[in-house]
């Protein structure tokens, strides 16, 4: 048999295989680096895109918050105006009330009775006055009780006084004012009010 030395061929084959392996490793490393770089670019691009969307949302939310604050302020102003209108309407409705009260006093007070002091507190009037006799005070109380504007006359004090004669007396009484039903004016915009 012939002696063939295969060592140099095996050594060359091994060297060639190592070069192929190294070149394959280099190619894989280059592809991995390129893939990692590409992935980094894609992720950074998505992050930037999401950040810009978030910024846009934050800007729009700030605008909406400002509009909500303006709406709340307008609602508060509206309620304030409605409250003022209600007060004005009540004042306008009560304006002729004092005239009616005095007119009813003129009708209810009999001759020989004079008031020196009238104090109104809410729906009650305190009266101080003089009468020519106790009968006239009784007549005043009956007339006030029969009046549509007054109720519950209450005599709190009577004492003799000669200011209006021998039988004269000074008296103090309280009487309640009865309120007529008030027509309410609607302030709801849905009902056609202001």
Structural domain boundaries of the chain? 12-95, 98-177
pLDDT, tens digit, 9 for 90 and up, residues 58-90: 999 999 999 999 999 999 999 999 999 998 888
Q: Is 101 helix (H, G, I), strand (E, B) or coil?
A: helix
Q: Between residues 36 and 122, which one has the greater pLDDT?
A: 36
Q: Between residues 185 and 50, which one has the greater pLDDT?
A: 50
Record the pTM: 0.47
Q: Which helix (H) or strand (E) holds 70?
A: helix 7-94
Q: Specify the CATH architecture of the domain 98-177.
A: 2-Layer Sandwich (3.30)
Q: Indicate the DSSP class of residue 167.
A: T
User: Measured at the alpha carbon of residue 143, what is the angle toward residues 140 and 144, in degrees to the nearest 5?
Assistant: 85
Print burial letters for 67-105: b (CB count within 10 Å at least 16), e (below 16): eeeeeeeeeeeeeeeeeeeeeebeeeeeeeeeeebeebb
Q: Is 134 within 8 Å of 99 (Cβ atoms)?
A: no
């Amino acid at each position: 048999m012939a002696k063939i030395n295969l060592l140099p061929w095996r050594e060359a084959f091994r060297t060639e295989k190592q070069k192929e392996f190294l070149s394959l490793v280099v190619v894989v490393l280059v592809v991995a680096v390129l893939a990692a770089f590409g992935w980094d670019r894609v992720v950074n691009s998505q992050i930037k895109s999401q950040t810009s969307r978030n910024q846009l949302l934050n800007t729009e939310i700030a605008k909406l918050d400002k509009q909500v604050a303006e709406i709340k302020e307008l609602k508060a102003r509206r309620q304030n105006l409605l409250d003022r209108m209600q007060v004005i309407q009540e004042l306008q409705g009560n304006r002729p009330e004092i005239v009616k009260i005095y007119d009813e006093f003129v009708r209810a007070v009999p001759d020989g009775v004079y008031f020196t002091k009238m104090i109104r507190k809410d729906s009650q009037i305190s009266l101080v006055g003089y009468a020519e006799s106790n009968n006239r005070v009784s007549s005043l109380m009956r007339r006030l009780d029969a009046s549509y504007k007054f109720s519950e006359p209450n005599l709190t004090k009577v004492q003799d006084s000669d200011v209006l004669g021998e039988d004269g007396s000074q008296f103090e009484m309280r009487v309640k004012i009865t309120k007529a039903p008030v027509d309410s004016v609607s302030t709801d915009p849905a009902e056609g009010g202001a």
